Amino acid sequence: MGNPKIRILTVSGSARPGNFTAKALELVNDELGKDPAVGLDVIDLTQIALSLPGQEPTQDAERAAKLVTDATGVVLATPEYHGSFSSGMKLMIDNLGFPSALSGKPVALLGVAAGQIGAIKALEHLRSVCSHVGAIVLPGPVSVAGVNRVFDETGKCLDETIEKRIRGVATNLLDYIRGHICPRIALEEIVRKSESNGVVGN
């Protein structure tokens, strides 16, 4: 039995034109795209309209929730704003329903900041929120400090070590999925086939 198709959803949590979050996430997307078994979906918060909590969900919000539901794993990328993750990312999470579409999903985190300590606080807060809604937040989130000096205006990463760390967000997520999620999916499929054939005993 071949491995099931892996679908990864990545979300860029900045709405600023030319933002560094999207530049960093593009390295993750590029690394994911190298794997022929991976199907990639991308949500850019500058391109969708989300509803405020308590309002009727927009069509974009419903599509975003379906993308998360259908994903095998998720990458969330955020800038650090005022000691936390972006309000756009929080709104995205708030639009994923209750129970959240993130529940039970492996989630890898990427944070960027212009400051020397990086996006540590943003990632701590984002990890807490994701865990609260039931996501499986992977260890080792990647924080990029001094991000305005790491990328040039074309989006090229100027530091090979940092680029390798950022690309590691993709490989670490895929390693987790192949080690934990794919075997479970395969087992569930075997059980379903056995039940449909009347093989499973009392």
Give me 64's structure tokens.
């975003």
pLDDT tier at 1, thresholds 50, 70, 90: very low
Task: Answer yes or no: is pLDDT of 186 > 90.
Answer: no
Q: How far apart are CA 180 and CA 50, in angstroms?
A: 32
Residue 30 belongs to a domain: yes
Give me 177's structure tokens.
């999925």
Residue 1 belongs to a domain: no
Q: How far apart are CA 141 and CA 139, in angstroms?
A: 6
CA-based nearest residue to 55, from 86, 81, 94: 94
Residue 162 belongs to a domain: yes
Domain boundaries, position 156: 6-196
Residue 145 belongs to a domain: yes
Mean pLDDT of 116-129: 97
Residue 108 belongs to a domain: yes
CATH code of the domain covering residue 13: 3.40.50.360
For the chain, what is the domain count?
A: 1
Burial class (CB in 10 A: 0-12, 13-18, 19+), 90: middle
Residue 43 belongs to a domain: yes
Task: Answer yes or no: is pLDDT of 100 > 90.
Answer: yes
Residue 202 belongs to a domain: no
pTM for this predicted structure: 0.90
pLDDT tier at 162, thresholds 50, 70, 90: very high
Q: How far apart are CA 174 and CA 38, in angstroms?
A: 9
CB atoms within 10 A of CB 139: 9
Summarised one tens digit per residue, pLDDT across range 51-99 is: 998 899 999 999 999 999 999 999 999 999 999 999 999 999 999 999 9
Task: Answer yes or no: is pLDDT of 2 > 70.
Answer: no
Summarised one tens digit per residue, pLDDT across range 165-175 is: 999 999 999 99
Residue 79 belongs to a domain: yes
Give me 105's structure tokens.
């999903």
Query: What is the DSSP track for 151-173?
Result: B-TTS-BS-HHHHHHHHHHHHHH
Mean pLDDT of 148-158: 94
